[in-house]
């Protein structure tokens, strides 16, 4: 079954430890709690789209382990179409996440597992041609993303690439993308240019180093400060929203899922980024990755959050 929004990406089980502070090298500290959540950038983004009320299909792989069963069950409960999610004869992907509650910052180590086995041919041409927006990230093989994006170009599908984690990718994959979404370190990685952080002129100069076509766009996320949007060869800062942060895990994925959902409706990138800023701000007020994604009602009524 195809959906207007397709996510080609990773599915992980998140193993999350909460502690007051980050331990020093060689130090042992007592944590506050441990929880497991459905995660992975692909799954997080798909859940965001679904919670916002849009049909979404996820293409990925889970292992033949207990985590794989739990992840599929969780995705189905979120009304994500998993008919194109395959099973791998090996372990599922996992992420070890450490959340430091004094600052709400986190550290993450990802073990790819079954995500390394995700293939472009899991997406049949018929379903691809029926989709409007295709999202991917770099937790699945970039060569498979590139192949799928080339195929999607022939169907007129809008291709969004989240360049996370910060890997080196081919110039052709960049060329085959309609919208690149990244944070500042990821922009530095792609351009090999050191930025003046949260400086719009510095970000704009770095984007020019990507040598994009006139039809390509870029969004650089700036956390609570908002996002820098480069569209029609012009840059603009869209202000963020301040909230009381509890856990920032998955907020970037929430941003992308919300952006794609709004873009499907409005085809206006600036409007979509503003909407995504609200959704991402809401997501950091709850624990977990996929578990923290807001509903459309919550985003629409965001002005009630203080």
User: Structural domains in the chain?
Assistant: 5-20+31-299 (3.40.1190.20)
pLDDT tens, position by position, 130-187: 999 999 999 999 999 999 999 999 999 999 999 999 898 999 999 999 999 999 999 9
Structure tokens at 97: 């996440």
d(C-alpha 116, C-alpha 141), whole Å: 6
Q: What is the mean pLDDT of residues 269-288?
A: 91
- State whether residue 52 is helix, strand or coil: coil
According to the model, what pLDDT value does residue 1 have? Answer: 61
pLDDT tens, position by position, 27-39: 999 999 999 988 9
Q: What is the mean pLDDT of residues 260-281?
A: 95
Q: What is the mean pLDDT of residues 29-53?
A: 94
Which one of 65, 81, 253, 271 is the catalytic residue? 253
253 is catalytic: yes
d(C-alpha 249, C-alpha 28), whole Å: 23
According to the model, what pLDDT value does residue 304 have? Answer: 46
According to the model, what pLDDT value does residue 258 have? Answer: 97
Q: Kindly state the DSSP code that residue 88 receives in the 8-state scheme.
A: E
Q: What is the pTM of this model?
A: 0.91
Q: Cα angle vertex 116, ends 111, 122, to 5°? A: 140
Structure tokens at 163: 């360049």
pLDDT tens, position by position, 206-255: 999 999 999 999 999 998 889 999 999 999 999 988 888 887 778 999 99
């Amino acid at each position: 079954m195809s959906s207007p929004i397709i996510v080609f990406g990773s599915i992980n089980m998140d193993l999350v430890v909460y502690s007051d502070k980050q331990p020093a090298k060689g130090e042992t500290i007592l944590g506050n709690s441990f929880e497991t959540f459905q995660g992975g950038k692909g799954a997080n983004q798909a859940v965001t789209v679904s919670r916002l009320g849009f049909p979404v299909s996820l293409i990925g792989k889970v292992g033949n382990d207990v985590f794989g069963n739990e992840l599929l069950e969780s995705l189905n409960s979120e009304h994500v179409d998993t008919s194109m999610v395959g099973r791998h004869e090996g372990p599922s992907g996992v992420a070890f996440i450490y959340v430091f509650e004094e600052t709400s910052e986190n550290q993450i180590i990802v073990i790819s597992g079954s995500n390394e086995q995700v293939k472009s041919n899991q997406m049949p041409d018929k379903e691809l041609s029926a989709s409007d927006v295709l999202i991917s990230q770099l937790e699945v093989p970039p060569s498979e993303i590139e192949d799928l994006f080339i195929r999607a170009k022939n169907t007129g599908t809008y291709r969004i690439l989240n360049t996370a984690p910060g890997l080196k990718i081919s110039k052709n994959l960049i060329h085959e993308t309609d919208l690149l979404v990244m944070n500042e370190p990821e922009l530095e990685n792609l351009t090999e240019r050191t930025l003046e952080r949260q400086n719009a002129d510095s970000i704009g100069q770095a984007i020019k180093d990507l040598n994009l076509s006139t039809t390509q766009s870029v969004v650089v996320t700036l956390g609570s400060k908002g996002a820098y949007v480069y569209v029609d060869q012009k840059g603009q800062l869209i202000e963020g929203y301040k909230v009381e942060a509890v856990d920032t895990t998955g907020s970037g994925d929430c941003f992308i899922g919300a952006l794609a959902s709004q873009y499907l409706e409005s085809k206006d990138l600036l409007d979509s980024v503003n909407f995504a800023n609200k959704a991402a701000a809401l997501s950091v007020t709850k624990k977990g990755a996929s578990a923290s994604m807001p509903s459309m009602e919550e985003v629409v009524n965001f002005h009630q959050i203080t």
